[in-house]
Structure 1
């Protein structure tokens, strides 16, 4: 994979992973329209793993305190870190981390069929998944914002969010959009819904990094010529991912998420045109 091809994937990866518009769906369209190398073979695995690193950096730079709080509490709970004598246990925070961990574990079931899902290249299916994603995003836009925070977050909420993210690995579906849509439908407060969605995405990207790295070692091919493209991919995806998060926050605060509903419908129309051209 050349540098410019990796950079194109990095730009779309940083933006589409941090906005609820599905990077996997865009990757299929880029592969079909621009004839870019697939991310599911050869050096593509390592470029995809590099995008995961860049996305994690973007989330950490955007939510540094949340990442530290969640990861710190998780280390306490698993015994990797000992509390100092006299430290007060934040039971509300601990409960929130436990429920988010349940949602995360459920979402990991998708690893069993992720490889098959990402090999889907039929544009008709991609169109269907983009339309489904638009439906979840529509849930984010309708009705009044809820007021459930750490204290009101329930086990049912966590299970539904985890199952939604598990089923959102198909090209055209967005785990972020599904998570936000289900959270909105379950009455989660705006900012808490946002925090949960990005913390789950952060954890998921870490797992996906190792997933693609292992697949790259097992089935791909790594050469010295990939070092620079991968480093640039990390940098570019981190920059564009960070900018995408700030844009997402801006739209969220102003209640303008409907723009992503329209976008997913429009990109589905683009996929339909490509399908007609290729037929």
Structure 2
């Protein structure tokens, strides 16, 4: 791998991780463009660590408040900590559902669903979901204090769909959260905080894939470069998305997903299957 390719992988992973356009799909597309097939999930998981580091640094105050309120409520049952306690429960609930069902689906969907044709179709499906939530669904008013256990269960189920390459994790949680009546700020914040345990959990499960074969394949300098670039662009993506959604609409992401999905199906050999 050249340093330019490592740079491109970092930029693509960083930008797409938190936008509702599927980072997995874009990493696969870049692999196909460069002709790479990484050993296991090691490189992708490595880049995800840089993304989750960006989320942790950006939302550390939010995470700290949730953790403090969660454990204070357990210890003292103070009503002022009740909202934070249940918000923590909702994060754990969605994470457990995603982890459990995601593991089952990953073992059963088969490699055929990782083809360019399926990835393109999933991107288009993501686009339709974004159009629906933007054009045909009235924005809700539920905030953190108004959430329910059922909201967490359904968002967790929606997040599980991201096991299919081309279905955006952030897009799925955002769309399902809005369908459940969350206001946009709460849905976006919940989606970002859910990314932390999900990505960290997948990293723990994928530790066995971290081998010297991957390090040799990519090289240490390129691993460092791609990690730093992924972190920087993940942070920029978080800041930009939060600001963008305050002023603009999800329809622009839908248009991008339609275009990307169609291009993938037209220009990439449909017989190709990539390990992701």
Structure 1 residues 4, 117: CA separation in 2 closer, same or farther (over 3 Å shift)?
farther
| 2:146 corresponding residue in structure 1 | 152
Distance in 2 between residues matched to 1:277 and 1:167, nearest whole Å: 22
Cα deviation digits, residues 135-184 of structure 1 (max 9, x gap): 22224413332111122111221111101111212111111101000111
Unaligned runs of 5+ in 1: none
Question: Are 1:20 and 1:176, in contact at CA under 8 Å, matched by a contact in 2?
Answer: yes
Is residue 2:118 matched to residue 1:125?
yes
Is residue 2:241 matched to residue 1:248?
yes
Count of residues in correspondence between the two structures: 269
Alpha-carbon shift at residue 34 of structure 1 (Å): 2.8
Unaligned runs of 5+ in 2: none
Alpha-carbon shift at residue 2 of structure 1 (Å): 4.1
Question: Are 1:118 and 1:170, in contact at CA under 8 Å, matched by a contact in 2?
Answer: no
Alpha-carbon shift at residue 107 of structure 1 (Å): 0.6
Alpha-carbon shift at residue 251 of structure 1 (Å): 1.8
Question: Are 1:46 and 1:216, in contact at CA under 8 Å, matched by a contact in 2?
Answer: yes
Is residue 2:82 matched to residue 1:91?
yes
Residue 20 of structure 2 aligns to a residue whose secondary structure is coil
Is residue 2:201 matched to residue 1:202?
no
Question: Are 1:180 and 1:197, in contact at CA under 8 Å, matched by a contact in 2?
Answer: yes
Name which of structure 1's ranges 130-139 and 155-164 shifts more when overlaid on structure 2. Answer: 130-139
Q: What is the TM-score with the length of structure 2 in the denominator?
A: 0.86
From 165, 172, 182, the equivalent of 1:171 is 165
Aligned Cα root-mean-square deviation (Å) = 2.9
From 35, 40, 47, the equivalent of 2:43 is 47
Cα deviation digits, residues 223-257 of structure 1 (max 9, x gap): 49732222222211110011111221122101322
Taking the TM superposition and a 5 Å limit, the aligned residue runs for 1:106-145 are 106-109=97-100, 110-114=102-106, 119=111, 120-142=113-135, 143-145=137-139
Taking the TM superposition and a 5 Å limit, the aligned residue runs for 1:39-78 are 39=38, 41=39, 45-73=41-69, 76=71
| 1:273 corresponding residue in structure 2 | 266
Alpha-carbon shift at residue 24 of structure 1 (Å): 1.2
Structure 1 residues 135, 73: CA separation in 2 closer, same or farther (over 3 Å shift)?
farther
